[in-house]
Amino acid sequence: MPAEHFDWSLRDKFLNREEELDQLQRWWDGSGRDLITLHGRRRVGKSWLFRAFAHGKPATILVGEAGAHGPQLRQFAGRLESRLGLRPEISTVPELFRILYRLGTREKTLAVIDEFPYLLPAGRRERQEILTAIQAVIEEERDSSKTKFILCGSQISTMEKLTTEESPLHGRLQRLFVAPLGPDECVPFIEAEGPRDWVERYSVGGGMPLYLDELGRGGPLRALLEENVLHRLGSLFEEPPFVLQQELQRPAVYFSLLEEMASGPRALGDLATALGTSSTSLTEYLRTLREMRIIERELPITSRPNASGYRYRLTDGFFRFWFRFVRPFAAELEAGLRPADLWRTEVAPALPEHIAPAFETLCRRWVRGSLGDRASRVGSWWGPALNELRTSGERTTEEIDVVGLGRGRISVVGECKWTARPISVSLLGEIERFKLPALVQSGAKVAKGGPLIVLFSRGGFTDGLKAVAADREDLRLVELADLVPGDRRAGRGAGVP
């Protein structure tokens, strides 16, 4: 029986993800028999992506759910009855694969299993047995079938383990990770009044399509946050707990860790002290959050990869906002605290601190795009202040927001200021007297001729600093408008990918 072509009514509202669609199309057009594993964080837009790809193709889409496998497999059998002309008997997941392969006996067809981890047993031994049986079906059926499989899932660690050497499916899968949207990809979702408004919306949307769709347009950002995030009945008021509880056991520990990181990067020892536990007891929790791409660990850019001294940073802008401004006050909001009052007393005074990391990300992105001929690696640096200043107690540590390395030497240093006040000459003096010398003291080498100093500012620059920059080739001033990508007015009528 001819396959039905999948028709997705929302295809015209799907935005971006052109690279991912191109990769899927090359896979579809090619002669390879490997299955695709499509995975990424919940809410990142995986389901919209594979539906956009399946649109117009002969395709069968099945969605796994948490719960017993038997009822789900019987439901899948009912879905496949119209394709087969009879209701198949499907008692195991490997049998499901066999039937889907046989749908492609005569013509190319696409089979998508969404939330595939829900169809696997919880126990490691049982899971290996099921995957081994699936592997046997693949070997038996794929060369005589034109079915192409996409296995999709939000449980990132489970999906990534499918491709490891220990997995029975190793060597039979192509990996496609769906990351949060980058700044350029966010343009269609953000309808801003100007560069500052754009950065503020980007900082709370965090590159996640659903959150950007709720907060990127439709009114002033404050009103959207008060209605959708700070209000106890808001659409995103309970979003992070919902996402985390879908994936994690003992979520309370994870919540405490994320709340600690919401105000800025934290060293492992600091996290352990804050939670009143040992560092070793937290390593597994932190590893899980890293696998979920909610946090990352970072070293100063000049450190060796195996160095100690990692800091852990909450990378998702929306999660940072929620764990800083909603979780600590959730009980009060549920008891009647007005969102407008929380905004005035807690959110507004600290919002610049929340936005600063997103602003720094845009600054480092600018360096990669504009100064890539100088700096092949771009990151940040932190470390001890100059020895004599630490001895006197004048300064203890230093941090540089942007450091670019070319051939392993410091070629660019930059500072990012998300304040309304214009940057003055004093910041340049601080870099040259304290920050750059401390970086060199740490063992870093400076490029011949010295680094280019780049200053990034929301509030502009004083006339005095502009005069200095006009006379110096090694100093560049970058305005906020230069950092915002694309047309800031784009996004009217856009949908969620």
Cα dihedral 299, 300, 302, 306, rounded to 10, equals -20
Do residue 348 and residue 377 come from a single domain?
no
The verdict on residue 246 lying in a domain is yes
Dihedral (CA of 165, 115, 174, 288) sign: negative
Please indicate, yes or no, whether residues 349 and 408 belong to a single structural domain of this protein: no
Per-residue model confidence (pLDDT) at position 305? 80
Residue 463 belongs to some domain of the structure? yes
Asked, for residue 490, whether it belongs to a domain, the answer is no
> What is residue 137's predicted lDDT score, i.e. its pLDDT?
97
Q: According to the model, what pLDDT value does residue 3 have?
A: 59
Domain of 229, in residue numbers? 184-355
CA-CA distance, 14 to 10, in Å (whole number)? 7
Q: Would you state the pLDDT for residue 247? A: 79
Q: What is the pLDDT of residue 304?
A: 87
Measured distance CA(331)–CA(58) in Å, rounded: 50
In a domain, 288, yes or no: yes
Please check whether residues 349 and 375 belong to one and the same domain.
no
One-letter identity of residue 153: G
Residues 154 and 196 in one domain: no
Structural domain tally of the chain?
A: 3
Q: Output the pLDDT for position 491.
A: 37
Supply the pLDDT for residue 5.
85
Residues near 486 by Cβ (< 8 Å), separated by ≥ 6? 184, 187
DSSP code per residue over 174-197: EEEE-PPPPHHHHGGG---SSHHH
The CATH number that applies at residue 263 is: 1.10.10.10
Single-letter code of the amino acid located at 439: L
Instruction: Give the SS3 label for residue 465.
Output: helix
Domain boundary among 177, 207, 233: 177
The reply to whether 306 falls in a domain is yes
Whether 52 maps to a domain, the answer reads yes
Tell whether 132 is covered by a domain: yes
Collapsed DSSP state (helix, strand, coil) of residue 405: strand
The pLDDT value given to residue 230: 98
200 and 341 inside one domain: yes
Residue found by looking up tokens 């906020």 in the block = 480
What pLDDT does 488 receive? Answer: 43
> How much is the pLDDT for 15?
80
Whole-model pTM over 0.85: yes
Last residue of a domain, one of 177, 205, 227: 177
pLDDT along the chain (497 residues), means of 10: 76 87 96 94 92 95 91 93 88 96 93 96 92 97 95 91 94 94 92 95 93 93 98 96 84 94 95 96 93 92 88 96 97 97 98 97 97 96 96 96 97 97 97 97 95 97 98 97 72 34
Query: Which CATH number fits the domain that encloses residue 459?
Result: 3.40.1350
Both 250 and 351 in a single domain?
Answer: yes
What are the start-end ranges of the H helices in 371-494?
A: 387-392, 425-430, 436-441, 463-470
Backbone angles phi, psi at 210, to 5 degrees: -60, -45
